[in-house]
Amino acid sequence: MEVEIRAAKPEDCKNLLLLIKELADYEGFGDRPKIDEKGKKSKMLIEDGFGDSPFYHSFVAELNDKEKAIVGFCLYFYTYSTWEGRAVYMEDLYVKKEFRKRGIGFKLWKTLAQEAVLKNCKRMDFAVLNWNQPSIHFYEKMGAMNQTKEEGWNLFRLGETALERLACEIKNDEEISKKLN
């Protein structure tokens, strides 16, 4: 079974959406993906990944057979470290269950590492659920540092409601000045 790793195209978004849902189910968060709300289906993925200013990029693992089935993906975006400069954040890496243990996930990850080096990124950040010990062990074996364990960093998130509430609290520049002083 030959697998090609390639950059995702807009027409892959329907399959990407299915894989994102599979990943969420695997992680125990099947109700979390919101990119499919309000009947938008893969439209949001297309707009956010293939517009004038993409918010994300993705590689897909495609079988080199008649069907050209997409069996895995790696979704990422560029970020910036004030300590080190350019960086990449790997949001998701997923391979369909029946295609695991064949090196496909490693090929996706390696392709992202190569892309990051080409873009002069100094590091790759990503999060792994604490129960996913096989992945944690794999990443550590490959040289990744567990920042929670080694440096005590905690990952925080400001969800949509809290984000909107914070944005509404600050109505103009004068209010911003007052809050900062």
Which residues are known to be catalytic? 139
Fill in the DSSP letter of residue 82.
T
**Does residue 166 contact residue 158 with C-beta atoms inside 8 Å?**
yes
**Does residue 76 contact residue 91 with C-beta atoms inside 8 Å?**
yes
H helix or E strand, kind and range, residue 72 = strand 70-81
Whole-number Å distance between alpha carbons of 3 and 38: 34
Q: Reduce the DSSP state of residue 100 to 3 states and report it.
A: coil
